[in-house]
Chain A
Amino acid sequence: MSARLMQGNEAIAEGALAAGVRFFGGYPITPSTEIAESLAKLLPKVGGTFIQMEDEIASMGVVLGASLAGKKVLTASSGPGISLKQELIGYASAAEIPAVIVNVQRVGPSTGQPTAPSQGDVMQARWGTHGDHSIIVLSPWSVREAFDVTVKAVNYAERFRTPVILLTDEIVGHLRENVELPAEVEVYPRRTPKTSRAEGYEPYTPDDDLVPNVANFGEGYHIHVTGLIHDETGFPSGSPKVTREAIKRMNDKIARAEDIIEVHQEFMDDAEFAIVSFGGTARTAYEAVLNVRKRGFKVGFVRLVTIFPFADKVIRKLAGKVKGLVVAELNFGQLVNEVERAVAGQCPVKLCAKYDMTIFEPEEIEQSIDELIAEVNGNG
Chain B
Amino acid sequence: MVERSYEKFFRRNRLPHLWCPGCGNGIVMKAIVQAIEKNPNYTQDNTVIVSGIGCSSRASGYMDFDTLHTAHGRAIPFATGVKLARPELNVIVITGDGDCTAIGGNHFIHGCRRNVDLTVILFNNNIYGMTGGQASPMTPLGKKATTAPYGSVDRPFDACKLAEAAGATYVARSTAFHVQHLVKTIEDGLKNRGFSFIEALVQCPTAYGRRNKMGEPAKMMAWMRDNAVMKTAWDKLSDDKKTGDKFPIGLFYQAAATDYDTAYQQVINAAGGGIK
Contacts and interface: CB of A to CB of B under 8 A. Distances in A.
B84 A51 contact: yes
Interface in A236-250: 236
Contacts of A223: 66-67
B82 interface: yes
Interface in A211-262: 217-228, 235-236
Nearest to A223: B66
B107 A23 contact: no
A36 to B, nearest CB: 15
B82 A69 contact: yes
B86 interface: yes
A1 B55 CA distance: 56
A50 to B, nearest CB: 8
Interface residues of B, number: 43
- Interface size on A, as a range, is 35 or more
Interface string B55-66: 000001100111
B180 interface: no
B2 to A, nearest CB: 25
Interface stretch (A57-65, A142-150, A184-192, A365-373): A57-65
B273 interface: yes
A62 B86 contact: no
B74 interface: yes
Dominant SS among interface residues on chain A: mixed
Given A54-B107, A57-B74, A66-B81, A228 B86 contact: no
Interface string B65-108: 11111110010111111111110110000000000000000110
B107 A224 contact: no
Contacts of B244: none
Contacts, number: 144
Interface stretch (B22-30, B45-53, B119-127): B45-53
Contacts of B130: none
B14 interface: yes
Nearest to B80: A62
Given A23-B85, A49-B85, A58-B110, A222 B77 contact: no
Contacts of B45: 218-220, 222
B270 interface: yes
Interface of A: 23, 25, 41, 43-49, 51, 53-55, 57-71, 73, 87-88, 91, 217-228, 235-236
30 contacts: A25-B77, A45-B273, A47-B268, A47-B273, A47-B276, A49-B85, A57-B77, A58-B74, A58-B77, A58-B107, A60-B77, A61-B77, A62-B80, A66-B81, A66-B82, A67-B85, A68-B81, A69-B48, A69-B81, A87-B74, A217-B48, A217-B66, A217-B68, A217-B89, A221-B66, A222-B45, A222-B64, A224-B69, A225-B67, A227-B69
